[in-house]
Structure 1
Amino acid sequence: MHTDSPARDAAREILDADGLARTLARLAHELIERADDLSELALVGIHTRGVPLARRLQYLVAERSGVEPALGAVDISFHRDDVMVRGRAEPRHTHPVVRGTELDFALEGRTCVLVDDVLFTGRTIRAAIDALLDFGRPDRVQLAVLVDRGHRELPIRPDYVGKNLPTALGERVRVELVEVDGRDRVLLEPAGEEEGA
């Protein structure tokens, strides 16, 4: 049986399930509004939680516009800059789980929107762009994130933002999705646990 730790109990809920659904509906509306040609739009989720978010956005865009954008997934495991081992030193972080990239469409001529749950330092997005470009050259690459928490280390700016959430550097934004975690919500946890990118 799963019990929440005291640190998790101190977390503040930023979005509940309804709030998350409304946020995704607004993002889908923005995607439709700003797309030059929806038939050339591809939503590419970044593993792990970006994939179900991209799937939900695909459904919402199709439901509202009648045009279903292409859907893909990108795995950044081999493009991360924080797991390199130099000499005999241990990696700075544990090696990520490889999940595989799925892009069953040509990238050329498309606007590819990378989809992720939280934008933090920008390093995950840089790795995702590298991984995407290994498969082709889209006309344009854009970024949609559920939460932008600031603290960028790279010059990366999202095109679509569900929620801007100013945070302290040590705080952690935890996104939970039904497909991965069994429920939908976004939490802001106090400083203590280290977060990725």
Structure 2
Amino acid sequence: MKKTKILNQQQVYHKAKRIAFQIYEDHSNENQLVLAGIAKSGFKFAELLKTYLEEISPIQVELCEVHINKKNPLNSDHSDLQVSSYKNKSVVIVDDVLNSGATLIYAVKKFLEVPLKQLKTAVLVDRSHKKFPVKADYKGLSLSTSLNEMIQVSFDPEVQVDLY
């Protein structure tokens, strides 16, 4: 398959910074915010968002990693954050790519078990192949792709987004 670079490192950083500004605008009255990155690339993108949020705002950002077992998603919603750390707070669930919405919907499930101030989602790339009623509140790039194509987000060694 032919590999096409969609976003280079500078473009990814620009989109992340823009999303950080949007998150700050929506949460400017908050003292604390939880960024819940979906394991691997979603978590790395959440780390990048946290860096920018801390540069541009006084909001204290807590970061956690959410693990989803795609073979058994109903029993895999653990994170490295205690419930008391996000109860009655604003949470943004972060992933690299929104395909069908399955991963985000299972991640959302964990956070709906306790009262929250607000729950939002952020993705770097939204492919719009939704099977579940979930949307990205913050997105870096909306991209129309075929179901046969694949998006890969790389954070090591260089940040980039490729289409296969």
Corresponding residue for 2:163? 188
Relative to structure 1, the CA distance from residue 99 to residue 152 in structure 2 (aligned partners, 3 Å threshold; closer, same or farther) is: closer
Q: Equivalent residues in 2 for 1:1-197 (5 A)?
A: 7=1, 10-77=2-69, 80=70, 83-84=71-72, 101-104=79-82, 106-134=85-113, 136-178=114-156, 182-189=157-164
Deviation digits for residues 19-60 of structure 1 (CA, Å, limit 9, x no counterpart): 111010101111111115332321110111111111111111
Deviation digits for residues 146-183 of structure 1 (CA, Å, limit 9, x no counterpart): 000111001111100010011011100110013xxx22
Corresponding residue for 1:89? none
2:81 and 2:30 mapped to 1: Cα distance? 17
Kindly indicate which of the two structures has a greater share of residues assigned to strand: 2
Q: Aligned with 1:146: secondary structure? A: strand
Opposite residue 159 of structure 2, the aligned amino acid is D
Opposite residue 54 of structure 2, the aligned amino acid is A
- TM-score, normalised by the number of residues in structure 2: 0.89
How many Å apart are 1:15 and its aligned residue? 0.2
**Greater RCO, CA 8 A, separation 6+:** 2
1:48 and 1:15 mapped to 2: Cα distance? 19
Question: Which segments of 5 or more consecutive residues in structure 1 lack a partner in the other structure?
Answer: 1-6, 85-94, 190-197
Question: Does the CA-based 8 Å contact 1:47-1:99 persist in structure 2?
Answer: no
Q: Aligned with 1:31: secondary structure? A: helix
How many Å apart are 1:138 and its aligned residue? 1.9
How many pairs align?
Answer: 161
Deviation digits for residues 98-143 of structure 1 (CA, Å, limit 9, x no counterpart): 8961115522221100000000101001111123345x33222110
Question: Which segments of 5 or more consecutive residues in structure 2 lack a partner in the other structure?
Answer: none
Relative to structure 1, the CA distance from residue 44 to residue 173 in structure 2 (aligned partners, 3 Å threshold; closer, same or farther) is: same
1:12 and 1:35 mapped to 2: Cα distance? 36
1:120 and 1:106 mapped to 2: Cα distance? 29
2:103 and 2:55 mapped to 1: Cα distance? 30
Larger CA Rg, structure 1 vs 2: 1
Amino-acid identity (%) = 29
Structure 1 runs of 4+ aligned residues shifted over 4 Å read none
Question: Does the CA-based 8 Å contact 1:39-1:68 persist in structure 2?
Answer: yes
Relative to structure 1, the CA distance from residue 137 to residue 76 in structure 2 (aligned partners, 3 Å threshold; closer, same or farther) is: farther
2:151 and 2:58 mapped to 1: Cα distance? 34
Superposed CA RMSD: 2.0
